[in-house]
Amino acid sequence: MDISKLGIFEIKSLLLKREVSCTELVKAYIERAERLNGILNCFITINRESALIEAKQTDEIIQKNPDGIRPLDGLPIAIKDIFVTRNIRTTCGSKILGNFVPPFDATVVRRLRDAGAIIFGKLNMDEFAMGSSNENSYFGPVKNPFDLSRSPGGSSGGSAAAVAAGLTPASVGTDTGGSIRQPAAFCGIVGMKPSYGRISRYGMIAFSSSLDQAGPMCRNVRDCAILLESIAGNDPKDSTTMSTPVPHYTEWIVGDPSEITVGILRPDTYEGVNPEVLSAYQNVVNLFAKHNIPITEIELPHIKYAVAVYYLIATSEASSNLARYDGVRYGFRSGEFGNLREMYIKTRMEGFGDEVKRRIILGTFALSSGYYDAFFRKASQVRRLIANDFYKAFSKVNTIIMPVTPDVAFRLGEKVSDPLSMYLSDIFTIPVNLAGLPAISMPAGRNREGLPIGVQFIGKPFDEHTLLNTAAFYERESMCMNILNEVNL
Amino acid sequence: MNYEAVIGLEVHAQLKTRSKIFCSCPNEFGANPNTNVCPVCLGMPGTLPVLNRFAVELAVRAALALNCTVHRESRFARKNYFYPDLPKGYQITQYDRPVATDGFVEIETEKGLKRIRIKRIHLEEDAGKDLHDISPDKSYIDYNRSGVPLIEIVTEPDISTPEEASKYLRTLRNILMYLDVCDGNMEEGSLRCDANISVRKSGSSELGTKTEIKNLNSFRFVEKALACEIERHIGMLERGERIEQQTMLYDSKENITRPMRSKEESHDYRYFEEPDLLPLVLTEQDIRTYGEDICELPHQKKMRYTGELGLTPYEAEILVQDKGVAEFFEECALLLKEPKQIASWIINDYMRELNARKISIKQSPVTPHKLVSLIKQVAEKKITLNMAKEVFVILFEEGGDVQEIINRKGFTVVNDSDEILKNIREIIGKHPDELSRYKKGNQNLIGFFIGELMKRMKGRIDPKAARELVKTELDKS
Amino acid sequence: MSKIVVDDKLIEHLLNLSMLGIERSEYDRFRTQIQRILDYIGMLDELKTDDVSPMFGGIECPQFLRMDITQECLARTSAVQNAPSEKEGLFEIPKVIE
């Protein structure tokens, strides 16, 4: 059986029709993952034994109870290695957690399991989700299935590549400054960053607590709705989740154009953007216009400051969030030290990669005595201005269309030595995180070299359902998901 | 040259909640190491804090009782530093927006009541515990205490002497115990104290350089450490030396203060708003509700005892030292309108028995009812005071019923004066020598006759009545 | 804010605060990269934000409060199972000097 083009919905149908057993599916995915991991390096951990045991149990449940099937019963899924999984090694792409086997499940993991999914693998990522190319993983870079010399993007690069290449039917990633949407764009899949507070962060290893948000990465909009519905909602273990009810997202993917009002930025906002990316974006806007969807020009005057704000807030929070990796309670401890202080320093020096160190140093600076006001606090004030820009725009429209990235997937190694230019490539994704908004990244065709280009739809807070309707409309009218037929591994 | 000390205290009080401040692990002392822990209080990756409602309630209760302004909105912040007992590498505390500010406590000094202003009260989490004594070259960590809820109560530098400092601490501890906010157990670390101190020339308005003394965990240490540190400061000032701003530890064996050996790199804690928690918002209604559980406080009780109930300040002071004792006293006083007598029994007999047994009044087998019925027996002259004291000890040792013990022991008082007089006359008749010596002026011999009477009547007579009757009879003879 | 000059002393200070180390040979690279990033961030100076209330979180509403009830803890073996060094249920570290 060819599983490489299956999404969640297809798998559910196959299981319901008893055309395949869960065990067969899990086996097939594990075998495929093991076979292709040498090429793509998507997986950090493949969880063969316990996944097969769970599959067998699920088969029995389905056998006994064919009607009472749970929403994701029997679905094999691999998720970003940022979610802690009970008794399955969880590394966060770092040497410092290289041997960490958590004694508990993240809420996202718990919900996936409760919905019947079987987690068979943990996917590669930039160390602590810090990066835009997946080159900052201790476990080596992931390759882009469209071009093996290219990056799949980051930090959820393993997830994006694995979904695109059919190594998993879907995945859950995290997005702090674009880490779902940018790799989704680079790999031609659908990636959604929900509103901040929509999905529990409990057990999701923190990079920047006020920005991090989990989200689905899928082969189509419907799968995205199914997965979001399963993992979203208030969690008593996460004070920053909202109690706003979770709509039945699967009922919102009708793609009704009359529900959509679009806002776009003035063309000069996009100076310096790759012309092929820009024309793909323009084509998307044109498609909406063709269907008589109202399009309004909006202004977001402060988003040009977003990268600067982000690299203060995210690094400050990270410098604190990563202080717990000290070699005392879990994870890596350096082998040589004379005293406690040396143990700390050597453990962290050997356990963290360069990008993580750079961000810890920067964040430590932004919070340190004498600089807090001018850096961390100032950034938090500009963050408010950026959020207010969006709220103002959303008084006129319900969807903002923007490119995801200024360019297509980087060549591996292209930006490694120039962190600032790597940071600047996140200029269109970061503002959304700062404002806590939901956004969905959709394929918008390919460039001359065949590399995917992405476009994002940004929505109002907790208005994911409208966004899914917009995405479903666009998906149907553009046939954009055909792009995945081009991946044949 | 005269100098004066300027002292401020920071007190950490563990809150009497069932669970920890940010997770559901039990808040209890003395469990096996690392058994009251979960991913949250071990600071495992991905874990998040969720604030305990009751911890907030207790903090507000304390703040109101300490005359503070409770803020409708406060915030949590992270205090960043590395220490092995701090599992996340930061402590969740409150920084620029504490839950309460601007209160005061009044303490009694030789010069009368003195007001010590409270600058702020904030909520925070406790750290784990380093164990240093297990091995010479290793330390060990137990995280049971990690995440235990604390309030930190910070005074203004209003304290001038070591005695005032310890008085403040006693007063504060007692209030917190009355409020059921903290169990006040300093040995177990439920209440801990740090002191900031500087010394200046008397009358000067300029503050000297201050030092901090950490971990002053008994009233005695507070007094002694502060006295040492004041002396050290004065010595340095006299010699014209510069006082260095540093953190000191008190060595009780040597009775000196010395700088902490571990050089804390710098005190740059990089405080910032805790992104995992939202602002703590309290409505007026919340604050009112949390304040409803505030009981009568020790100084208020003391005023009532000396006023309404006519006790001496000394008696009142002793009774209010322990909320349990004060409550016991009040229960007794409701049953029997003899507050003076009850106070005397509690202060002299009851507390002696409690101390001997090292138990609290709540653990005692002698209930207010029993004590009161015993006191009544004496008041109604059914038994003598000495009998009552004997019964009291039996009540403590064996328990049982007051009347039953009296019956068992055959305790009765002879109130028939004819019978007593008959006995006295017989005794006098048998001891003519003693009588004549008494007559010649040896008044002390009255004791001899009383003793003989007591012996003869097996103590079943009120000593006061006996004395009078003996005296009258001797003088008549 | 006047321009921040990132020198070895500042890097050293920040490394100390964050208990990090980098090789001596890496100082130049780190210093230059961080200088470039800070120079870029300097663009925030052109905005006047005195009257803007800072936005510290992704959502802004009151804190939810948990009921004071206890739940089961980790088994001690699970609590210490990931410890690099452990003895009889205690986490073991080099001697701490107070």
Please say whether the beta carbons of A468 and A220 come within 8 A: no
- Whether B45 sits inside 8 A of A376 (CB atoms) is no
Amino acid present at B56:
V
Indicate the residue of B54, B132, B279 with minimum beta-carbon distance to C96. Answer: B132
- In order of start, what are the domains of chain B with their CATH numbers? 3-289 (no CATH), 298-398 (no CATH), 417-476 (1.10.10.410)
Using CA atoms, how far residue A330 sits from A145, A228, B344, B429, C81, in Å, is 35, 31, 60, 94, 8
Angstroms from A215 CA to nearest CA on chain B: 16
Average pLDDT over residues A209-213: 98
- Structure confidence by residue, pLDDT tens digits, A11-70: 999 998 889 999 999 999 999 999 999 999 999 999 999 999 999 999 998 888 877 678
- Whether B35 sits inside 8 A of C92 (CB atoms) is no
Residue C38 scores a pLDDT above 80: yes
- Using a CB–CB cutoff of 8 Å, tell me whether C5 touches chain B: no
Quote the pLDDT of residue B57.
97
Which residue range is the domain that position C39 belongs to? 8-45
CATH architecture of the domain with range A3-262+397-486:
Alpha-Beta Complex (3.90)
Predicted confidence band of residue A123 (pLDDT cuts 50, 70, 90): very high
- Whether A103 sits inside 8 A of C64 (CB atoms) is no
Give backbone dihedrals phi and psi of B273, rounded to 5 degrees, phi first.
-60, 130
Q: Identify the closest residue of chain A to B267 by CA–CA distance.
A: A369
Residue A277 scores a pLDDT above 90: yes
The reply to whether C1 falls in a domain is no
- Whether B270 sits inside 8 A of A238 (CB atoms) is no
ipTM of the shown complex: 0.97
Amino acid present at C79:
A
Rounded CA gap, A47 and A81, in Å? 12
Please say whether the beta carbons of A79 and A199 come within 8 A: no
From the number of C-beta atoms within 10 Å of its C-beta (0-12, 13-18, 19+), residue B213 rates as buried
Residue A318 scores a pLDDT above 60: yes
Query: How many interface pairs between A and B have CB atoms less than 8 angstroms apart?
Result: 103
Is residue A80 part of the annotated active site? The answer reads yes
Q: Identify the closest residue of chain C to B52 by CA–CA distance.
A: C66
Lowest mean pLDDT among A147-156, B276-285, B422-431, C62-71: B422-431
Give backbone dihedrals phi and psi of B291, rounded to 5 degrees, phi first.
-80, -15
Please say whether the beta carbons of A435 and A178 come within 8 A: no
Residue A88 scores a pLDDT above 90: yes
Please say whether the beta carbons of B315 and B343 come within 8 A: yes
Which chain A residues are Cβ-neighbours of C58 within 8 angstroms?
195-197, 210-211, 213, 240, 433, 436
Using CA atoms, how far residue A371 sits from B93, B268, C10, in Å, is 21, 11, 12
Rounded CA gap, A376 and A367, in Å? 6
- Whether C63 sits inside 8 A of B140 (CB atoms) is no
- Structure confidence by residue, pLDDT tens digits, A246-269: 999 999 999 999 999 999 999 999
A169: helix, strand or coil: coil
Average pLDDT over residues A91-99: 98
- Structure confidence by residue, pLDDT tens digits, A362-386: 999 999 999 999 999 999 999 999 9
Lowest mean pLDDT among A184-193, A312-321, B291-300: B291-300
Residue A225 scores a pLDDT above 60: yes
Rounded CA gap, B178 and B301, in Å? 11
Quote the pLDDT of residue A204.
98
The reply to whether C33 falls in a domain is yes
Angstroms from A250 CA to nearest CA on chain C: 25
Is residue A179 part of the annotated active site? The answer reads yes
**For the stretch A16-44, what's the b/e string if a residue is b when 16 or more beta carbons lie within 10 angstroms of its beta carbon?**
eeeebbbbbbbbbbbebbeebbeebbbbb
Quote the pLDDT of residue B264.
54
- Structure confidence by residue, pLDDT tens digits, A127-145: 999 999 999 999 999 999 9
Rounded CA gap, A152 and A154, in Å? 7
Quote the pLDDT of residue A274.
96
Return the percentage of chain A with pLDDT > 90, whole number: 93
- Whether A361 sits inside 8 A of C18 (CB atoms) is yes
Catalytically annotated residue among A12, A80, A193, A415: A80
Q: Identify the closest residue of chain B to A197 by CA–CA distance.
A: B276
The reply to whether C87 falls in a domain is no
Rounded CA gap, A447 and B361, in Å? 84
Peptide bond into A425 cis (omega under 30): no
Residues of chain B with pLDDT below 70 are 261-266
B43: helix, strand or coil: coil
Q: How many domains does chain C have?
A: 1
Rounded CA gap, A82 and A91, in Å? 7
DSSP string, chain C: -PPPP--HHHHHHHHHHTT----GGGHHHHHHHHHHHHHHHGGGGGS--TTPPP--SSS-SPPP-B-S-------HHHHHTT-SSEETTEEEEEPP--
Q: What token pair was written down for A215?
A: 């989200």
Return the percentage of chain A with pLDDT > 70, whole number: 100
- Using a CB–CB cutoff of 8 Å, tell me whether B277 touches chain C: yes
Quote the pLDDT of residue B262.
56
> DSSP label at A322?
G
Rounded CA gap, A98 and A127, in Å? 11
- Structure confidence by residue, pLDDT tens digits, A430-489: 999 999 999 999 999 999 999 999 999 999 999 999 999 999 999 999 999 999 999 998
- Using a CB–CB cutoff of 8 Å, tell me whether B283 touches chain A: no
Predicted confidence band of residue C1 (pLDDT cuts 50, 70, 90): low
Give backbone dihedrals phi and psi of B274, rounded to 5 degrees, phi first.
-70, 110
Is residue A417 part of the annotated active site? The answer reads no
Quote the pLDDT of residue B61.
97
Catalytically annotated residue among A21, A137, A179, A319: A179
Average pLDDT over residues A279-307: 97
